[in-house]
């Protein structure tokens, strides 16, 4: 079945450091890929998405590229800020209804000044 695997956290970085959160997936078809962010006490918010191979999703300085050959969708940011402290979830969607969404277990990021 479909699944998403994320790097284990927690991750602690100093402000302005480079961020990479690894995500790999297993899918039976040709999924769309998403990154969500969850700030403390809030729900998940869509950060970025990519819908086909070699697509790059980007938002708020974050980027991720859909790599079909390595079944990966790693999240990167060149210079993190304290305000980026949150939990990040990688997800895939196989179908046209939401019951075919699959989430990773989340990676907690703390950025220290």
Partner 1 sequence: NAGVTQTPKFQVLKTGQSMTLQCAQDMNHEYMSWYRQDPGMGLRLIHYSVGAGITDQGEVPNGYNVSRSTTEDFPLRLLSAAPSQTSVYFCASMRGGRNSPLHFGNGTRLTVT
Place of tokens 């939401």: 98
77 interacts with partner 1 by CB under 8 A: no
Nearest-angstrom CA–CA distance, 54 and 105: 24
Nearest-angstrom CA–CA distance, 78 and 50: 19
Among 10, 28, 69, 96, binds partner 1 (CB under 8 A): 96
105 interacts with partner 1 by CB under 8 A: yes
Among 15, 26, 46, 61, binds partner 1 (CB under 8 A): 46
Signed CA dihedral, 93, 54, 75, 50: sign only? negative
Token pair belonging to 51? 């819908």
Which 8-state DSSP code applies to residue 27? -
49 interacts with partner 1 by CB under 8 A: yes
How many binding residues for partner 1 (CB under 8 A)? 23
Positions touching partner 1 (CB under 8 A) are 32, 34, 36, 41-46, 49, 51, 89, 93, 95-99, 101, 103-106
């Amino acid at each position: 079945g479909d699944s998403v695997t994320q790097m284990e956290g927690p991750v602690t970085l100093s402000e302005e450091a480079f961020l990479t959160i690894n995500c790999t997936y297993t899918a039976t078809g040709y999924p769309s890929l998403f990154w969500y962010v969850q700030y403390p006490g809030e729900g998940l918010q869509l950060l970025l998405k990519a819908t086909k191979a070699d697509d790059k999703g980007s938002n708020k300085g974050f980027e991720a590229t859909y790599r079909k050959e390595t079944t990966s969708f790693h999240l990167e940011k060149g210079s993190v800020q304290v305000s980026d402290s949150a939990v990040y979830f990688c997800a895939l969607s196989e179908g046209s209804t939401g019951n075919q969404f699959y989430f990773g277990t989340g990676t907690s990021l703390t950025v220290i000044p």
